[in-house]
Amino acid sequence: MEKKTEKKGASKRSKAPQNRPKHQQALVQAAAVLFRKQGYAATGTAEILKRSGAPRGSLYHYFPEGKEAIGAAALEAASKVASRTFRDLAANTESPADFVRAYATLLAGWMEKSDFTDGCPVATTVLETVPGSDIITPVARTSFQHWQRTIQDMLMSHGWHGGRARATATLVLSAFEGALIMARVEQSASPIHDTAEELAALLAG
Amino acid sequence: MEKKTEKKGASKRSKAPQNRPKHQQALVQAAAVLFRKQGYAATGTAEILKRSGAPRGSLYHYFPEGKEAIGAAALEAASKVASRTFRDLAANTESPADFVRAYATLLAGWMEKSDFTDGCPVATTVLETVPGSDIITPVARTSFQHWQRTIQDMLMSHGWHGGRARATATLVLSAFEGALIMARVEQSASPIHDTAEELAALLAG
DNA sequence: TTGATTATATAGACTGATCTGTATAACTTT
DNA sequence: AAAGTTATACAGATCAGTCTATATAATCAA
């Protein structure tokens, strides 16, 4: 079982530190996209490998706990992106009503661009793995709590008080979560805009 | 696939173990539970067979198009149950605000009873198969549209006007859909009640 | 500096289990 | 017998995960 021994290595022409965790990030990124679009169980490790360009060995090197660990990492990555979006949007809008409208526009554009094959990166995986997976469940929980808190803070910075802000933030999150599902099924951004307009009415009144 | 197997009708109403579509209904029922709890792709036909007690041959006899056809049938069955619940609830509540509170109580009890392993029977399958599956996609779309329309009618029967009733019904549906996901992740009925209370405030004001 | 040693990372063949779907035989009921 | 249903064996594909070998980096030895 001899293999070609390519001695071509050893050339350290570039000191670019590109070969450290070369494939780790690619794996998470690929998994995030695939899980989001087609679900957790329907996505095989082979597909993740192919899309990321990583070999099988790397997957189990970086994620000894296997597929579930990749799922958790993908959720974590997606969660951070969304949290940052929430914060940025909160900083650049003038009222809660503005905030939900702006976020709706963002989501709608995103869904349209993907031909309605995208959706919430957390929801898809969650419905297949929570509470079954001990690795994914806590990550998902933290993610939702973080989002909820970010929206709650946004409301409070506009004068809302604790208890009501908490419940309202939950409604906002629930509504967008559901609107993404409806948009996907109806292949239309309308549910997102309808939901946001009604939310805006509540937040303004 | 809907106009083929129902010619015998209710000619025989004996409770006796008559094996007409004996296994057909059991298959759909088993699939509905499993898809709802653990997802579409994660549920193998073997598991459906085992839970339903049907042999493999029956599955492909009643559903020649296989797993996707069972998925569509399960969605259809679940959709009808929910529609009926909506109508019954609408008939027995005195205002839209009452309606959402009553439905929240129903959902919360259901989730608690299942230890938060249940959820919306449509959402779970949808996120894995729409728009990929040509068999499931139209069923899911019809289901959501039917629900939306039922809630819209409820609102209009309380004096709401067309345009606003449409958008508000979408919000209500989205919010409950999302609240179920959050409840599952947080292993708590609070997101459902919080969401419903905020919705009630909007509907009352 | 050079050489040896260990740790990290890449690479893909391989495994046994499970997947969906098919084929065909054997009932059951009319 | 004929049609409708049940029953099981089977097939090819794919599944997640393990294995061994190799390559590159970092650390230590002289």
Per-residue pLDDT tens for B72-128? 999 999 999 999 999 999 999 999 999 999 999 999 999 999 999 999 999 999 999
Which amino acid belongs to residue A31? A
The residues, ordered by sequence, that sit 6+ positions from A174 with a Cβ below 8 Å of its Cβ are: B174, B175, B176, B177, B178, B179, B181, B182, B191, B195
Query: Residue with structure tokens 């973080």?
Result: A146
Which domains, and CATH codes, for chain B? 72-204 (1.10.357.10)
User: Average pLDDT, stretch B155-165?
Assistant: 95
Cis peptide before B96 (omega within 30 of 0): no
Q: Which of residues 122-161 of B touch A (CB under 8 A)?
A: 123-124, 126-128, 130-132, 137, 140-141, 144-145
Nearest to B179 by CA among B86, B127, B128, B103: B103
Residue B149 above 60 pLDDT? Answer: yes
Share of chain A above pLDDT 70, in %: 90
Look at residue B16 in the predicted model and tell me its pLDDT: 30
CB A82 within 8 A of CB A144: no
Which residues 29-88 on A are within 7 A of strand D at the CB atom? 43-47, 56-57, 60, 66-68
Determine, for residues B181 and A137 on separate chains, whether the beta-carbon distance falls below 8 Å.
no
- A42 chain-B contacts, CB cut-off 8 A: 40-41, 128
pLDDT tens for residues B23-41? 899 999 999 999 999 999 9
B170, B188, B197, best to mutate vs chain A, most A CBs in 10 Å: B170
User: Average pLDDT, stretch B195-203?
Assistant: 97
Nearest to A203 by CA among A176, A165, A147, A174: A165
Of A145, A181, A197, Cβ closest to residue B127: A181
Interface check B170 vs A, CB under 8 A: yes
Q: Which of residues 74-103 of A touch B (CB under 8 A)?
A: none
Nearest to B49 by CA among B23, B75, B79: B23
Q: Using 50, 70 and 90 to split pLDDT, how confident is the model at B11?
A: very low
What would the two tokens of residue A90 be? 């909160």
Determine, for residues A173 and B177 on separate chains, whether the beta-carbon distance falls below 8 Å.
no
CB B143 within 8 A of CB A196: no
Look at residue A22 in the predicted model and tell me its pLDDT: 76
Q: What is the C-alpha separation between B54 and A195, in angstroms, rounded?
A: 43
Determine, for residues A39 and B38 on separate chains, whether the beta-carbon distance falls below 8 Å.
no
pLDDT tens for residues A63-91? 999 999 999 999 999 999 999 999 999 99
- B195 chain-A contacts, CB cut-off 8 A: 167, 170-171, 174-175
User: Average pLDDT, stretch B147-166?
Assistant: 96
What would the two tokens of residue A82 be? 């969304």
Share of chain B above pLDDT 90, in %: 87
CB A51 within 8 A of CB A34: yes
Interface check A106 vs B, CB under 8 A: no
- A71 chain-B contacts, CB cut-off 8 A: none
What's the Cα-to-Cα distance from B158 to each of A117, A201, B172, rounded to whole Å?
36, 19, 15
Instruction: Give residues lining strand C (CB < 7 Å).
Output: A 19-24, 54-58, 60-62; B 19, 43-47, 56-57, 60, 64, 66-68
Alpha helices in B96-161 (DSSP H): 96-113, 121-129, 136-156
Q: Say how far A63 CA is from C6 C1', in Å.
A: 22
CB B54 within 8 A of CB B23: yes
Determine, for residues A181 and B177 on separate chains, whether the beta-carbon distance falls below 8 Å.
yes
Interface check A201 vs B, CB under 8 A: yes
User: Which of the nucleotides lies closest to B20 (Cα–C1')?
Assistant: D5
User: Average pLDDT, stretch A12-36?
Assistant: 72
pLDDT tens for residues A95-152? 999 999 999 999 999 999 999 999 999 999 999 999 999 999 999 999 999 999 999 9
